[in-house]
Amino acid sequence: MQIAITRQVSPAVNRCELTHLERVPIDLERARRQHHAYEETLRLLGVEVHSLPEEPELPDSVFVEDAAIVLEECALLTRLGAEARRPESESVARALAPYRQLFSLQPPATLDGGDVLSVGKTIYIGLSSRSNAAALEQAQAFVKPYGYTVKAVRVSGCLHLKSAVTQVAADTLLLNPAWVEPVNFPALKIIEIDPSEPYAANALLVGASLLFQPAFPKTLRRMEAVGILPRLVDQSELGKAEGGLTCCALLFKN
């Protein structure tokens, strides 16, 4: 059984943190409808969705993935790179506590879960404006006893590592080479996004199914050409808050 922890969209979402995008109005009701459809798609795939209530004073709190790394053996609570977002972690920790032993990063480490890509026993951590080398060192110390290897990946031009690269099949990554170098992933197949769709690299693998946004048809055709056939889920409104499909759920096996 797969479980997804999600959270409802905050009414304050228009005050979200922004790093690489210009601020434009977010239609709150449309964002909520799209997020509901996202949760329903997860349920259709057999995922047990635990949807946390909205946090009225925390604009970015729908992006629950940033608050933790969940492995089979334990969960690591991050220390979010934007100080104003750190109160988001408390409720995520409560939601995870029944399922995993919890560890926590300590200062001076900062880490957003969006900078963490786990493929098998390798954990890639993006060094970005939100995540630093101290977090990488602490994460390695926490996960090494469970047989994981942590590798640093330099990120430029985007908010998080998973803005630039995500897993789309057992041995395949979808990647924007302008934001992260393919050489970081020598053992994996690479599908490069269409250059005209820079934000297309964020897809969500749920078991054997893949969720992808309809806003990126050229990149979609590149995946279809190699036999990857995603389910389309529109999350364009939260995209204005630098969000993606991976950001809105903490997925793990019970």
What are the tens digits of pLDDT across the range 113-172? 999 999 999 999 999 999 999 999 999 999 999 999 999 999 999 999 999 999 999 999
Active-site residue, 158 included:
no
**CATH value at residue 207:** 3.75.10.10
Question: How many residues are present in the chain?
Answer: 254
pTM of structure? 0.97
Contact assessment for residue 232 and residue 221, using Cβ atoms and an 8 Å cutoff:
no
C-alpha to C-alpha distance for 88 and 152, rounded to whole angstroms: 25
C-alpha to C-alpha distance for 106 and 2, rounded to whole angstroms: 29
C-alpha to C-alpha distance for 95 and 83, rounded to whole angstroms: 21
Mean pLDDT throughout 181-202?
97
Residue-number span of the structural domain to which 222 is assigned:
2-253
Q: What is the pairing mode between strands 172-175 and 189-192?
A: parallel
What is the pLDDT of the chain when averaged over all its residues?
97
Mean pLDDT throughout 210-219?
98
Active-site residue, 248 included:
no
C-alpha to C-alpha distance for 235 and 240, rounded to whole angstroms: 9
Mean pLDDT throughout 214-230?
98
Catalytic residue among 16, 35, 158, 247: 247
Catalytic residue among 16, 158, 160, 248: 160
pLDDT single digits (tens) 16-55: 999 999 999 999 999 999 999 999 999 999 999 999 999 9
The tally of domains found in the chain comes to 1
